Amino acid sequence: MNSIERIFEYVAQKDITIIKNAPMCEYTSFKIGGPAELMIIPENKKQAKEAFVFCTSEGVAPFILGNGSNLLVSDNGIKGVVLHTGKMNNVVLLDETTVECDCGVGLARLCNFALDNSLSGLEFAFGIPGSVGGAAFMNAGAYGGEMKDVILSCEHVTPKGEAQVLKSNELKFGYRHSAYSENGFLITSIRIGLTKGDKSQIKSRMQDIIERRRSKQPLEYPSAGSVFKRPEGHFAGALVEQCGFKGKCIGGAMLSEKHAGFIVNKGGATCDDVLNLIDTIRETVLKEYGVELEREIKLIK
């Protein structure tokens, strides 16, 4: 019996949902990707810890999947284990301004929870399609705000099963980066610090942001959000647009005609289609402007 078979047997015995050959195209916002050898779907922190620790003890580091909103998965799929946190979705109010939520909670749900409790500070995140765990992992941000502005602490599990907490000043937040970008730990829950506000004003700001997103971003197509990180002193979308790439297609992948920072799946796009379009864009921008664009979308293969 190999490690994958042992993991399957162990997880199944624990009554944790586990799927063989899970089609990743059904679990990512890009709707692209071949099968994951095993997908484990825990429903709470206890199950997540058990699965995570056993996998690592077998020499298999699971890929942690939230909402799959900034991922490009290989057409060949993922060899090994995917730990999908989507069913870990508890949210509670600890005091008047502190929210604690599981890593799998969607940002939209968290923003609406804050609104329901007249809490301000998360408006910038309304419309970001990821999970809270993923947003903490990459310090997601938009419209002048970032997760580092509101995260008080993150609870995680180490590969040895130790439950630990990193406070905000220990999280090494940077542009699309946190301590979790490199430590290999599993984020299980997050504490958010907000401020009391006027409910109608909070709702108005959230509506303004979502309307701006709808008007500027190609939300009608599957995508993985912004393709490139913001280069210092420039805007990636502007550089790409100036090179005349809007509407450019390779296979089923198209550079959005609405926003040059997005590649969309206009139907049947493969991972290779997207990568070939990214490479073409990067080469042209480097040649025309001397700027090397760095991919923000995470490639999983």
* 213 part of the active site: no
Q: What is the distance between the alpha carbons of residues 66 and 132, in angstroms, rounded to a whole number?
A: 8
Secondary structure (DSSP) of 4-46: HHHHHHHHHHTT-EEEEEEEGGGSSTT----EEEEEEE-SSHH
Query: Could you say which of 176, 191, 205, 282 is catalytic?
Result: 176
Q: How far is CA 150 from CA 45, 137, 169, in A?
A: 22, 14, 12
Q: What is the distance between the alpha carbons of residues 67 and 110, in angstroms, rounded to a whole number?
A: 14
Are the C-beta atoms of residues 162 and 197 closer than 8 Å to each other? no
Q: How far is CA 220 from CA 40, 55, 131, 142, 257, in A?
A: 30, 37, 20, 19, 12
* 189 part of the active site: no
Q: What is the distance between the alpha carbons of residues 39 and 51, in angstroms, rounded to a whole number?
A: 11
Q: At CB < 8 A and 24+ separation, what contacts does 199-207 make? A: 199/115, 199/118, 201/120, 202/114, 202/115, 202/118, 202/119, 202/120, 202/123, 203/115, 205/123, 206/111, 206/115, 206/123, 206/126
Query: Could you say which of 74, 178, 226, 256 is catalytic?
Result: 226
Query: Could you say which of 43, 50, 123, 296 is catalytic?
Result: 296
With H, G, I as helix, E, B as strand and everything else as coil, classify residue 60. coil
* 296 part of the active site: yes
- Burial class from Cβ neighbours inside 10 Å (0-12, 13-18, 19+) for residue 231 reads middle
- Catalytic residue numbers read 176, 226, 296
